[in-house]
Homo-oligomer: A and B are copies of this chain.
Amino acid sequence: MNIVIIGAGNLATQLTKSLLSNNLQITQVYSRSMESAETLGKLANCKYTNDLDLIDSNSDLYIVSVNDDAIEDVISRLKTKTGIIVHTAGSVPMEIFNGKYEKYGVFYPLQTFSKEKEVDFGMIPVCIEASDNNTLQTLKDIGEKLSENVQEINSKDRKILHLSAVFVCNFVNYMYSIGEELNNKNHIDFKLLIPLIIETAEKVKNNSPSNVQTGPAIRNDQAIINKHMELLNEFPEFKKIYSFVSGCIQEFHKDK
């Protein structure tokens, strides 16, 4: 099976590394930036291009891993007749391929990828969806080479997962940023918070988060809340968040 990787961002790069280390063959990579195309091409030891029109038309699988708003344009310009074409986006429905290709699907690894940090694909849920059973099986076979956790997820559910991911990853990381900023401004090492951060995450492996909520808001501990609000006087933005999220926690747990 020959694979073409379209895109050279964080996900495309980590996916390429994982495919290679599982002995899958990448024959070409594309990026609109020649520099990125070259970097990834050299890593995969294959051809590279920054011209969509030069993408091989006889490959078996095209993995489109570009920005959401570029997907439609990219897939309208590929020239494959028999290859499978998939995208890797959480919130783009599979129907974007309708009428354009015969065999298509989605290959969405539910993880946050960065250039800064290697990711072990082994435990990542790979959410797949396909135009037909044969294609689904092919995506499943590839997924299972990379991960122990391949799941068939339809476009509607994938959208929800992507939305949930914003809360449990992006918004969570922002809460970490606030902790970092509060510590930094007071010359306290952010690293002191790391064991707490890790434990808070580890805890929900085996517990429902709503069952292990702690803190002044759920205890309705107004004395502590008032002290915290006072400490936040010099951080008006964080003070608004503190007040707003504390209220949400109380509202959420009111009827539980």
Which A residues fall within an 8 A CB radius of B? 68-69, 91, 110-112, 114, 116-117, 119, 123-125, 127, 149, 151, 153, 156-157, 159-161, 163-183, 186, 188, 190, 192-218, 221, 223-224, 227-228, 231-232, 237-238, 240-242, 244-245, 248-249, 251-252
Copies of this chain in the oligomer: 2
Chain B proximity of A189: nearest CB distance (Å): 8
A114-B214, A203-B112, A248-B241 given; A179·B195 CB < 8 A:
no
A186 & B199 in contact (Cβ 8 Å cutoff) = no
Most buried by B among A117, A127, A176, A193: A176
Q: With A114-B214, A117-B206 as given contacts, are A172 and B172 in contact (CB-CB < 8 Å)? A: yes
Nearest-neighbor residue (CB-CB) of A124 within chain B:
B195
Q: Are A174 and B119 in contact (CB under 8 A)?
A: no
Q: Are A195 and B111 in contact (CB under 8 A)?
A: yes
For A111, list chain B residues within 8 Å (CB).
195-196, 199
Q: How distant is the Cα of A227 from the Cα of B163 in the complex, in angstroms?
A: 9
Residues of B within 8 A of A91 (CB): 224, 227-228
Instruction: Assess the B200–A168 pair: CB atoms within 8 A.
Output: yes
What's the nearest-Cβ distance from chain B to residue A149, in Å?
8
Contact assessment for A193 and B110 in the assembled complex, using a CB-CB cutoff below 8 Å:
yes
Supposing A160-B182, A160-B183, A192-B151 touch, asked if A170 and B119 sit within 8 A by C-beta, the answer is no
| 15 A-B pairs whose Cβ atoms sit less than 8 Å apart in the complex | A69-B221, A91-B227, A116-B212, A117-B203, A123-B195, A166-B216, A168-B179, A169-B197, A172-B175, A172-B176, A173-B209, A174-B209, A174-B248, A180-B210, A241-B245
> Complex: how many Å from CA A151 to CA B191?
12
Compute how far the CA of A252 lies from the CA of B204 in the bound complex, rounded to whole angstroms: 28
> Known contacts being A213-B177, A227-B91, is A110 close to B196, with CB within 8 Å?
yes
In the complex, chain B residues whose CB is within 8 Å of the CB of A196: 110-112, 165, 168-169
Interchain CB contact (< 8 A) of A231 among B163, B179, B186: B163
10 new A-B pairs (CB below 8 Å) besides A159-B231, A198-B201? A68-B224, A157-B188, A160-B183, A163-B231, A167-B176, A172-B200, A173-B212, A179-B209, A180-B208, A181-B210
